[in-house]
Structure 1
Amino acid sequence: MNEIQKSTERTMAVHETATRLRVSVGAFKRRTQEALSEGDLSVPQLSALARLDRLGPATTAELARREQITPQAMGATIAGLEQRDLVVRQPDSVDGRRMILSLTPAGQAAITSGRSALADRIAGVLAESFTDEEIAALDAAARLLERLAELL
C-alpha cells in the first residue's frame, strides 16, 4: 500500500470516527436531557452554572464564548437562572458598564445537587452494565472528548 492510499484510508477512518462521535454524543445528550424531571435545570443552565462554579464570576459574553454559543442564547439561559435566583448580576468594579455574573448560595446548591443527580444515575448504569475495563475506557474517552470540545 502506498502513502497516498494510507493517507486516504486514514482520512476516511477519521471522518467515520467523527460521524460516530457526533451521533453517539448527540444521543447521550438527548437521553440525559430526557432524564431531567419537570422543573429541573436544563443542560445549558447546568453548564452555565458549572462554568461560574469552576471559573468564578464572568460576563454573559465570556460564558457564551466558553460554551461556544451566541451571547443571545447565553442571555436567555442566564435570564432563566436569574428568575430562579441562582445567579446575580453586579456592575464590574473596574468597568461599570459591564455586568458580572456570579452564583448565589442557591445557585451553588443547585449546581451541586444537579451534578449529583445526573452523575448518580450515570454511575448506577455504569456500575450495573459495564465492566471495570469499559469504565476505564469511558473515563479515557471522556477526557479526550473534553479536549476535543476545547479545540472545536
Structure 2
Amino acid sequence: MDTRNALNRSTATAIRVALGMLKRRTREAVADGQLTTPELSALAQIDRSAPSTVADLARLQQITPQAMGSTVASLEKHGLVTRSPDPNDRRRSLLTVSGAGSDVLHSSRDAKSDRMAVALGESFTGDEVATLAAAAPLLERLAQHL
C-alpha cells in the first residue's frame, strides 16, 4: 500500500472512531421522557423528505416497514406527525411533521448543540474550535460521498 493510501485509511479509521464515539455520547445524553433514538431519527427523516410514506422512510432508514410502522405509530400517538391520503394513490398515506413535531425537532437539536457548545467552550482552545469549524463542512462532504 502506498503512503497516500495508508494515510487515507488511517484518517478514515480515526474519523469513523471519533464520529462513532460522538454519536454514542450524544445519544446517551437524551433525557427521560424524550423521544427514543429511532423516533427522533424517523421524525428528522420525515422533516427532510416530507411528504413520505412509511415504506419510503423504512428504505431510507434501512429498517423493515413493520419496524418503521411501529415507530410512526408512536410519533402519531404523540401528535408529532400527521397522515394524509396520497392524492395519486388513495391506498397510501403521506406523512408530514406536525407543528408539535417541528418544535420537538428544534428543541432536541438545540439541546444537543447547546451541550456541544458548552463542551467546546470548556475544553477547547479558540484555535481548536476554529479547526473543528473548518472540518465540519469537509465531514459533511465526506458523508455525501459514502
Does TM, normalized by the shorter one, top 0.5? yes
Q: How does 1:2-151 map to 2 (within 5 A)?
A: 8-67=2-61, 69-72=62-65, 73-151=67-145
Number of aligned residue pairs? 145
Q: 1:113 Cα shift? A: 1.2
Equivalent position amino acid for 1:27 in 2: M
CA RMSD in angstroms, aligned pairs only: 2.2
Equivalent position amino acid for 1:11 in 2: N
Distance in 2 (CA, whole Å) between partners of 1:105 and 1:53 is 11
Q: 1:35 Cα shift? A: 0.6
Distance in 1 (CA, whole Å) between partners of 2:130 and 2:68 is 34
Equivalent position amino acid for 1:48 in 2: A
Tell me whether 69-78 or 129-138 shows the greater mean CA deviation.
69-78
Tell me whether 24-33 or 95-104 shows the greater mean CA deviation.
95-104
Q: What SS does the corresponding residue of 1:90 show, helix, strand or coil?
A: strand
Tell me whether 105-114 or 51-60 shows the greater mean CA deviation.
51-60
Distance in 1 (CA, whole Å) between partners of 2:28 and 2:75 is 20
Gaps of 5+ in 1: 1-6
Structure 1 length normalisation: TM-score? 0.80
Q: 1:55 Cα shift? A: 4.0
Gaps of 5+ in 2: none
Distance in 2 (CA, whole Å) between partners of 1:60 and 1:123 is 35
State the percentage of identical aligned residues.
49
